[in-house]
Each structure stands twice: as structure tokens, then as C-alpha cells.
Amino acid sequence: MIHKALTQNPQAKTNSSAQLAKLPQATRDRIAHIDFTLLFKGEAIRADVVNRFSITAAQTTKDFTLYRELAPHNIEYDQKLKVHKRGKAFTPLFDYDVVRTLATISQGYGDGFTGEVKPPLACEAPYHLNKPSLSIVAKVTEAIHKGKALSITYVSLSSGETTREIVPHTLVDNGLRWHVRCFDRRRAEFRDFVLTRIKSAEVLENSTLHETELETQDRQWNRFVELQLVPHPRIKHQEAIELDYGMVNGVMIIEIRAATAGYLLRQWHVDCSTEHALNGLEYQLWLRNSQALYGVTNLSIAPGRAS
């Protein structure tokens, strides 16, 4: 990832860029990790840096001191909680690409942000409908990290713009756009919210979560279903599809969360009708065991099925 210094004014930006450029790569990596965790968790802990980079506590203290010198408005120390918090005037030291950021968040905080990563061969990522706001992503991840509720202004197809409180627990990439899986306090149920439709978000620091709002109570999320995908019966040379999907004995078996099953079935254009009735050329797969979808709640987006 290419990183660019971003600070409070042009002169500070120039100074920070020059200082960052002079740092050893290992130090730069640790500074980037602190910057990243402050942005997306709202706080940074010394023990996290010690464990992440296998360095001494004394070295970590020096890193936090250096970070404070580079961006004094970005970090505040809470004496009571013994934790470094994100400053109210925070501006990231590094310019984060939102697509790479979301990919990195999904694989683990703090990895792969301190240098330009060039793939060995030309490669294009799947095109997403839109890129969510980095600031919105940061608020969502902070709420997840802290175990807090989030107040959002959201625009839906059915209700238009509304303000509501959600309790987020996981970011989900459905292949086209990013969602947040959460408990919606307005409807008292677990749902998915599209990140690009969130206009504003604020972590409710004083919020207390009820047991019914926790990820462990999200039945659709914690339930797994087995999907048996086979070549669509109307296809003449079915071996071609078997090779495409690495099928064994003519079937591909996938275990997937019930909450995300509809997304996969739609993205892969799987004919989910019991009599393989869809005839479009895009339907190269058929769901052989449609009974596995019993109780799955988001089937309205699965081809050939309705909730």
C-alpha cells in the first residue's frame, strides 16, 4: 500500500512526511500499526504492539512517544484506563485505500499497510458497487472492538432516511458490496446494513449491551447449512462446469452461514428452484438439496426461491 503523510496543516504535513521517510522500515511498520489501530479501534494498547512485533515494552513506549511527536493531535493517554485513545482532532498519518483496508480488517488488524504491495502477476479484484466511507468503516470497527452500540443515519429502499441504533458484530463482503451484520434495536432483530448507505455514525460510549444483542444470539449467523451444488441439468457437457468448480463426483459441497447463504446463491447464479426451472444461460449451477434452505431468512435474493 502506498502511504502518504496527512497532518493538520501543510507545514506539519511536510515535516511528518520527511520524518516518516527517514525512519527504519521496522519503526515505520510499528508507527503505521499504532495509527491504524487508533483509527479503526479508537484506542491503542502497548501490549498489542509488544505482541504484534515481538519487541520490549521499553521500545513500545518509545514508539508511542515518536507517534505523539509526529501527530500530537492524534493521540491522548487515559491515565485511569492506562490506554492511548484517539484524539478528537485525529487525522491519519497514512492514506488508507478503503478496499485494501477492508480486506486487511477481514484478515486481521494491522497487517500489510506499510509498503506498496505488488502482486507477482497482474491481478484485478472483483468490482464493488461503491466504496464505503473510510470514516464510517472506522466507526463501525470501533464499535465492534469496544462492544458498544452505534447510532447511525441510514437510507434504506423501504423506509428512506432514518436514525437508529445498531449493535454491530461483523463486517461482511457479499461479493458486490460491504455490509455490517448487527442487531437492529429498532426492529429488535439481527440484520445486515449496507455500509455505503450509512450517512453518519457515532459510537455510543455509554451504551450497555443486552445479552439478546450479542453475536452469540444471532441464530442465522451461528447456524451453518450445507449446500450441494451440481451442474444445471439443462447443460449438455456438464464436465466443463465440474472442472470450473472443482467438483468431486459431480457435486460441490459448501458449508456456509445461513445469514450469508442468499448472497452466495445470488452471486453464483444458482438455480434454487426445486425443479431446476430457471433457463437463463447464467444459471450453470443447480442447488440439489433445496431442503437445506429451510429456515434461512434471506432467501428472497436466492434465484428461484422466495422467503
Would the pLDDT of 110 be above 60? Answer: no
Average pLDDT over residues 274-295: 94
Average pLDDT over residues 30-53: 94
Q: Which of 40-44, 96-100, 163-167 has the lowest mean pLDDT?
A: 96-100
Would the pLDDT of 277 be above 60? Answer: yes
Q: Record the cell numbers describing residue 176, joined without a space.
A: 458486490
Name the pLDDT band for 21 (thresholds 50, 70, 90). confident
Would the pLDDT of 8 be above 80? Answer: no
Say which CATH topology domain 10-107 has: Arc Repressor Mutant, subunit A (1.10.10)
Distance, CA of 198 to CA of 132 (rounded, Å): 9
- pLDDT, mean over the chain: 88
C-alpha closest to that of 271 among 236, 243, 229, 226: 229
Q: Record the cell numbers describing residue 90, joined without a space.
A: 485525529
Q: Percent of the chain scored above 90 by pLDDT?
A: 76
C-alpha closest to that of 132 among 202, 43, 193: 193
Q: Which of 105-114, 117-126, 127-136, 143-152 has the lowest mean pLDDT?
A: 117-126
Q: Which phi and psi (to 5°) does residue 42 adopt?
A: 85, 0
Say which CATH topology domain 134-218 has: SH3 type barrels. (2.30.30)
AA identity, residue 212: T
Would the pLDDT of 114 be above 80? Answer: no
Q: Record the cell numbers describing residue 245, joined without a space.
A: 468448480
The model's pLDDT over 288-299, given as tens digits with 9 standing for 90+, comes to: 999 999 999 888
The model's pLDDT over 116-127, given as tens digits with 9 standing for 90+, comes to: 444 444 444 556
pLDDT at 18: 78
- Contact yes or no for 268/228 (Cβ under 8 A): no
Average pLDDT over residues 124-150: 85
Would the pLDDT of 51 be above 80? Answer: yes
Domain ranges of the chain: 10-107, 134-218, 223-301
Would the pLDDT of 162 be above 60? Answer: yes
pLDDT at 127: 60
Alpha-carbon dihedral sign for residues 200, 129, 144, 300: positive
- State which H helix or E strand residue 220 sits in: helix 219-222
pLDDT at 153: 98
The model's pLDDT over 186-217, given as tens digits with 9 standing for 90+, comes to: 999 999 999 999 999 999 999 999 999 999 99
The model's pLDDT over 252-265, given as tens digits with 9 standing for 90+, comes to: 999 999 999 999 99
Beta bridge partners of 271: 286
pLDDT at 193: 97
pLDDT at 95: 87
Distance, CA of 118 to CA of 281 (rounded, Å): 36
> Is residue 170 helix, strand or coil?
strand
Beta bridge partners of 192: 181
Would the pLDDT of 90 be above 70? Answer: yes
Would the pLDDT of 14 be above 80? Answer: no
C-alpha closest to that of 212 among 179, 190, 180, 181: 190
pLDDT at 105: 78
